[in-house]
Amino acid sequence: MGMQLNTCDSGRTVLASADGSLYSKIFGNGCFVLAGGNELKAEIQSNNLIKIYDGDLIMQGRHVYIPASDSDTVTINNGSQGMNRKDLIVARYTKTSDGTEDVVLAVIQGTATEGTAVAPEYVEGDILTGAAAKDFPLYEVTLSGINITSVTKKFSVLGADLSDVSALESKMSALGNYTP
């Protein structure tokens, strides 16, 4: 298809893959929660319900967010008396055969054990190369018996301190594209 002008009025639909490519070049091809708002903070509501507060995340170039002053909830299945379990709360990306993309919060239930519980496996697809599924682990939920005993953050927060632009100015000056 060759070179394409994406940010213009060409009559052509701008594809999510084009924006995803741009964002992946800005933020990198990993998965991050962006600084600001509540940064997808988790709060235990009951032994079966965890509330996830507002925030933005980048999943390999795809921007996903819970709007400010909003939240989402996930349900943790009941634990078993005398057993230990670890579940994962993930941002789950899916792409259907017709190209429709979506991201939802999902819980991957671990295996109950009398010993030390381990977190379950999750899908590690690559959205940038066309994967139909990818999970971004946000929290590990530890259950002891029927009780949630901890909710541990599994993501990094990517923030930008724009109050000091000297490093950026230096890089741009070195490229010959900028004069302060």
157, β-bridge pairs: 33
CB 108 within 8 A of CB 101: no
CB 1 within 8 A of CB 25: no
CB 86 within 8 A of CB 118: yes
Distance of CA 159 to the CA centre of its chain: 14
Taking only the tens of pLDDT, the chain with its 180 residues reads 577 666 677 777 777 788 888 888 887 788 999 999 999 999 999 989 999 999 999 999 999 999 999 999 999 999 999 999 999 999 999 999 998 999 999 999 999 999 999 999 999 999 999 999 999 999 999 999 999 999 999 999 987 555 555 655 665 566 665 555
Res 29: pLDDT: 85
Question: Given its phi and psi angles, is residue 148 left (phi above 0), alpha (psi -120 to 50 degrees) or beta?
Answer: beta
Rounded to an integer, what distance in angstroms lies between the CA atom of residue 168 and that of residue 26?
Answer: 13
Res 161: pLDDT: 53
Q: Which pair of structure tokens corresponds to residue 78?
A: 């009941």
Q: Which residues of 69-88 are buried (b: 16+ CB within 10 A; e: fewer)?
A: eeeeebebeebeeebbbbbb
Rounded to an integer, what distance in angstroms lies between the CA atom of residue 94 and that of residue 99?
Answer: 9
Res 108: pLDDT: 98
CB 31 within 8 A of CB 136: yes
CB 147 within 8 A of CB 78: no
Res 160: pLDDT: 57
Res 101: pLDDT: 93
The model's pTM is 0.83
